[in-house]
Amino acid sequence: MEKNTMEVNGNHQLNHVIIGLCGGSASGKTTVANKIIEALDVPWVVLLSMDSFYKVRSEREQALAASNDYNFDHPGAFDFELLVTTLRKLKQGQSVKIPVYDFTTHGRQKDWEGHHKERM
Measured between alpha carbons, how far is 95 from 72 in angstroms, rounded to an integer? 28
Measured between alpha carbons, how far is 47 from 36 in angstroms, rounded to an integer? 10
Q: Domains in the chain: how many in total?
A: 1
Would you say the pTM of this structure is higher than 0.85?
Answer: no
Q: Which residues contact 18 (CB under 8 A, 6 or more apart)?
A: 87, 90, 91
Q: For the domain that residue 21 is a member of, what is the CATH number? A: 3.40.50.300
Residue pLDDT, tens place only, 38-83: 998 887 788 898 989 999 888 999 899 889 999 988 999 999 999 9
pLDDT number for residue 14: 64
Residue pLDDT, tens place only, 11-38: 656 678 888 998 888 899 999 999 999 9
SS3 content of the chain, % helix, strand, coil (to 5): 35, 15, 50
Domain around 106: 5-119
pLDDT number for residue 110: 83
Q: State which amino acid sits at residue 97.
A: K
